[in-house]
Structures are given as C-alpha cells and as structure tokens.
C-alpha cells in the first residue's frame, strides 16, 4: 500500500524525468545548441525515453537503475555548467543538474519503504535459516 508521500515522490520522479527530457531537447535544438540550427547532441535525450514507461508504472527495478543512470546527466550538467562560456548554456547545464537531483531524491524516497521491507524479509529469512540449521 502506497502512502500519500510515496505518491508525491512518484509524481515528482515522473515530472522531473519528463522535464529533463524536454530540457535536453530544447537545450540542444533551440535554446543554446552547440552548432546553429541544432546538434546531434540532442540524442542524449533518447536514453531517457526508455525508462519513462517503467517509472510511470512504478516498476521498482526501473526506478533503481534509472537512479544510477541519471547520474551521468548530473555529471554532464556540472561539467558543462563550469566549462561552458555562454551564459544561457551554463544556466541550462546547472538546471539540468538540479532536475537530476530532484529525480534522484524522489526516486530514492519512493523506493525507501520497499527497501526496508526487503531488508526486514531477508533478516527474517536468515533468522529462520539459522534456527533450522542449529537444531
């Protein structure tokens, strides 16, 4: 059973993932592309489309691996935020890093009760195995 807070974290994860996709596409096609008219770097948004359905459906495994994959986008945002000379491009990079942080926190807080339940179940199973092997 999901709590109200988990629902908020789920919607936060979905919203930030969609926002990151839109930000990446607009950044590389319209707002501050590397080359005028857009660049092939817009394809960096394509891997974000793969987990979108799983995040929408609350798939725990998808939320787990995307919380690690999304850190690549955080790295890009921080590196381009420090290194880009254009003011808009630098601001978009820091925005990308911020949106990634929102997704990461929402995904982890959504998964927290499931991880606790799994840990508790594993502990109970190990205790049961220990009792049975000692006899």
Residues 52 and 83 in one domain: yes
Distance CA 41, CA 64 (A): 26
* Domain with 9 in it: 1-31
Model confidence, pTM: 0.86
**The pLDDT of residue 116:** 87
Does 52 lie in the same domain as 117?
yes
Residues contacting residue 42 through CB under 8 Å, at least 6 positions apart: 24, 25, 28, 29, 33
10-residue block means of pLDDT along the chain (135 residues)? 88 97 94 83 93 95 96 96 90 96 97 88 83 66
Domain count, the chain: 2
- 119 and 78 in one domain? yes
Structure tokens that stand for 110 in this block = 């959504």
SS3 (DSSP) at 3: coil
Q: Are residues 57 and 112 in the same domain?
A: yes
Sign (positive or negative) of CA dihedral 109, 98, 15, 68: negative
- Residue-level pLDDT at 135: 57
Are 19 and 52 in a shared domain? no
What does the pLDDT read at residue 69? Answer: 96
């Amino acid at each position: 059973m999901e709590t109200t807070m988990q629902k908020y974290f789920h919607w936060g994860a979905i919203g930030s993932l969609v926002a990151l996709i839109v930000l990446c596409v607009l950044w590389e096609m319209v707002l501050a592309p590397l080359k005028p008219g857009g660049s092939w770097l817009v394809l960096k948004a394509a891997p974000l489309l793969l987990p979108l359905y799983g995040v929408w459906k609350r798939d725990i495994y998808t939320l787990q691996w995307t919380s690690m994959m999304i850190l690549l986008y955080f790295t890009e945002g921080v590196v381009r935020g420090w290194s880009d000379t254009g003011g808009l491009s630098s601001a978009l990079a820091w925005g990308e890093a911020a949106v990634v942080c929102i997704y990461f926190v929402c995904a982890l807080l959504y998964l927290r009760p499931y991880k606790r339940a799994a840990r508790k179940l594993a502990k109970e199973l190990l205790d049961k195995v220990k009792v049975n092997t000692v006899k």
